[in-house]
A and B are shown apart, each in its own frame.
Chain A
């Protein structure tokens, strides 16, 4: 998920922000396609593995910082993980898939 990488210091997403899945959106695993999806009125998106790993931790309780810590532990070999995670939050928030608590 290297193309998510942006400079975290430039982001509007803060480490103590907490997000939940947006109203009228649903995040679920799709067995037939072996992928996570976000469903909403009039559309859906399929998420690559990395994006799915971030979204499945968006639960209205974990902070962005918590998600970064967890993913760093889960994927110790990924070097740009913090920027990737911030980038994913940025995009998901921009697209209205998640809402700030």
Chain B
């Protein structure tokens, strides 16, 4: 899966809509897993350099949940109030039971979304999804050029994606495109938007890379300049004004260039729940990087326990766990101290302020990362692609640069 829209940005969209009120409930503090993300497999035919999946995903590729276990998880999450279901991965289409999962989701009243690279989507399968009641398909696109698409995914998938986009449209699905933005495509923003419009996209999400998992490893190579981000946003705003309501364009601002952190997942254990391929239940995509945390697993205990009782889901709810400067900060409810994973990955302390915040004593780490991305020596280091082989090296603790060298396009 890409850095998907199912994360904080979408929740923010919901809350944003609610905040405008006019008869729409501003019901933002209750904890209820409105969004359930099923990361049904970590297997993936693509090898995207910006993937947020854990670098040690190879450990979690064994022991995938069975169809029956997924169906049970869907039922249990629905009882807890889940409405939006994302079926993701890895590449979910590598499993042959997505059709069964879709049928069950429809039966239970979910609004279901298949989040896919498009690899493995055939006429037969999309017809089965349509018949089964899948509500929409979100397709990842990478660039307007074959070179960049094939380079960043480390595969030859450019032509296929265009075919799949047409297939989605022909079956009467809303066309939802997700494009992860990084140094190699940020200069093509206008062309990417034109491509989306030409494909008949109803929604396009321009998701600036956030740095977790594989994208953190490749941060110096992927991060664009601040000026490029500003230019990209300007072009996006201009295009949005031109295209009107015909195509909804979301621009997910990269947090490294903000002064305040994102309210990650709209709060830990507030509205979002992930069940991973092997049954671990997580409050966010990358929570497994956090130390000394035991996440519940659907094989051992139900989702109700995971959401309501488990120490992991309760650990960062509310504000009591916070440290300075967050604990006394008048803005703490705006962002709930930001992202725990980012705080840990960059500072070694999961309870510290997200270093993106200019008030964080560790903010210099972000400034350093931005500086590093301008360093031609670091920026020209080989990219480490998301492959089983590379993941096995991470599992084995070999964090040396891998030997496969990929020339830049």
Contact = CB atoms under 8 A, between A and B. Distances in A.
Interface of A: 1, 3-4, 23-24, 26, 28, 30, 32-33, 35, 37, 39-48, 50-51, 87-88, 91, 95-96
B24 A46 contact: yes
Nearest to A1: B23
Interface in B98-152: 109, 111, 113, 135-136, 138
A4 B111 CA distance: 28
Interface of B: 5, 10, 13-14, 17-18, 21-25, 27, 32, 34, 78-81, 83-84, 109, 111, 113, 135-136, 138, 173-174, 176, 202-203, 205, 245, 250
Given A47-B24, A87-B22, A41 B113 contact: yes
Given A44-B14, A46-B27, A4 B22 contact: yes
B205 A44 contact: no
Given A24-B136, A24-B202, A33-B32, A39 B24 contact: no
B262 to A, nearest CB: 17
A35 B24 CA distance: 10
Contacts of A95: 17
Nearest to B30: A33
Given A88-B23, A91-B22, A45 B14 contact: yes
Nearest to B79: A32
Interface centre among B22, B81, B135 (most CB of A within 10 A): B22
A4 B23 contact: yes
8 contacts: A23-B174, A24-B135, A26-B111, A41-B176, A42-B205, A42-B250, A43-B14, A47-B23
B111 A44 contact: yes
Given A23-B174, A33-B27, A41-B176, 8 more contacts: A1-B23, A4-B23, A30-B81, A35-B25, A39-B111, A42-B250, A46-B24, A51-B22
A4 B2 CA distance: 39
A35 B81 CA distance: 11
A39 B83 contact: yes
B225 to A, nearest CB: 28
Residue of A37, A40, A51 with highest tally of chain B CB at under 10 A: A40
Nearest to A28: B109
Contacts of B5: 42
B199 to A, nearest CB: 15
B22 A3 contact: yes
A48 B23 contact: yes
Contacts of A88: 22-23
A96 to B, nearest CB: 6
Nearest to A94: B245
Contacts of B27: 33, 35, 46
A50 B203 contact: no
A45 B81 contact: no
A41 B23 contact: no
Contacts of B10: 42-43
B60 to A, nearest CB: 27
B37 to A, nearest CB: 13
B32 A32 contact: yes
B13 A43 contact: yes
A65 B90 CA distance: 50
B13 A46 contact: no
Contact of A46 (B18, B84, B135): B18
Nearest to B13: A43
Given A39-B84, A44-B84, A26 B23 contact: no
A64 to B, nearest CB: 16
Contact of B18 (A41, A42, A45): A45
B385 to A, nearest CB: 28
